[in-house]
Amino acid sequence: MKRPRAIRIVDDAAGPRARPPAGSARLGVDLPVFDQTVRIVADVPDRPLRMSDAVPLAREVCDRVVAAAIRHGEAVGEPVSCSRGCSACCETPVLISAPEAFRLIADIASQAGDRGRRVKAALAAAEKRLAAPGPPAHACPLLAGHVCTIRAFRPCVCRAFLATSPPELCDTRERRVMPLSVDVPLALRRWAAELDDDASGPVLLSAVVSWSGENRARGRRTWPGPHMVRRLFDALSATAQESP
């Protein structure tokens, strides 16, 4: 089946009867996911924003792309087999984009009580293991009892990993993963590198606390909000155009 092309949506995408709030711009993009088109429309504050401010929008894009992919898999007889408690894909080092690293630190800081303390302690322990002699631990440090402890704000690389093979094959070479035409994790890395002319690459989640501290000035940089989101949409569209 012919795949729809990625098409830019003009400002005021929802029409004159639904104007964006004062002091914001309405931006959007159409993204092809198999035989479907996922339309993303966002009201972006017309003021300086940090890279991390755009991460919730990137998560929304990722979740909607994943939902469309799941519908496609069900329609063609290749349903996604991922379920709660299946953590084979978490037993490897997790690499995330710089904007997600900065946002993750902020999200963790917002967690109150024991939950926040447990997440911070898990990351601190992971960094100690990285510094210790011997082979590094491979499992994601934020996995507890085969369940993600930060599911609401987990990175896009985790959101976009969709296994279609039976669960018993998840830790074997016979595992099948659904390819997505819109690569949100890749788009985030490219977008961040282009924004601040930095090609340092992804961030190891286990080292996110020290990395964010070392790059604090980078995390504070701002760009005009609409300009920044347009460039994010451009990066998303580029991955779709590159997809076979």
Asked if residue 72 is part of any domain, the answer here is yes
Q: Which domain holds residue 37?
A: 7-242
Question: What's the pLDDT at 7?
Answer: 47
Is residue 85 one of the residues assigned to a domain? yes
- Does residue 2 belong to any structural domain of this protein? no
Domain-located, residue 229: yes
The DSSP symbol for 211 reads H
The verdict on residue 1 lying in a domain is no
Q: What is the pLDDT of residue 15?
A: 52
Q: Look at residue 55 and tell me if it is in a domain.
A: yes
Q: Looking at residue 136, what is its pLDDT?
A: 64
Count up the domains in the chain and report the number: 1
State the pLDDT at residue 1. 42
Tens of each residue's pLDDT in the chain, 244 residues: 445 555 455 555 555 457 888 999 999 999 999 999 999 999 999 999 999 999 999 999 999 999 999 999 999 999 999 888 788 888 888 999 999 999 999 999 898 788 888 898 999 999 988 888 776 666 788 988 888 989 999 999 999 999 999 888 888 888 899 989 999 999 999 999 999 887 778 999 999 999 999 999 999 999 999 999 999 999 999 999 887 6
